[in-house]
Amino acid sequence: MVDIDKLEDINDKFGHLTGDYTIKIIAQMLNEYLKRPTDLVSRFGGEEFAIILPSTEAEGALQVAEQIRQAISESKIVHNDNHIPLTISIGVSADIIDSDEHPMLLLEQADKALYQAKRSGRNKACYYTQEADQI
């Protein structure tokens, strides 16, 4: 799960057209980091995206998440002559899907990891652990 940090601030400071532009840029950047035909990025609500990396273990998923996070935080995005400061927070969960309910569990776990990333200062990629259930 990927969330654009402080998109509301971007909307308030630069306007909703710039916020929409920001969402489009993030979507394009996320797609650039998907390497296999089965990898998928999808918008998941206002400023959230879900990334699915089939047959990827936790270490690989975290590596991709960190590459994406770093690339976006280092990006130089300009819209209407305004530099748009962008960071994202990412929650990662990885497992083998073995039932129809399992995809929802993975989504819930990734969301908890995302919440952990946001609570610990944003602009981070966090992996789901049992301790995240305590948050």
Q: Which residues are catalytically annotated?
A: 47
Residue whose C-alpha is closest to residue 54's, from 32, 69, 37: 37
Q: CB under 8 Å to 129, separation ≥6 — which residues?
A: 113
Going by their DSSP bridges, the two strands 88-92 and 125-127 should be labelled as parallel
How distant, in Å, are the alpha carbons of 2, 39, 58, 65, 120 from that of 85? Answer: 16, 27, 29, 19, 19
The DSSP output letter for 81 is T
Q: CB under 8 Å to 81, separation ≥6 — which residues?
A: none
Please give the backbone phi and psi of residue 92, each rounded to the nearest 5 degrees, phi first: -120, 135
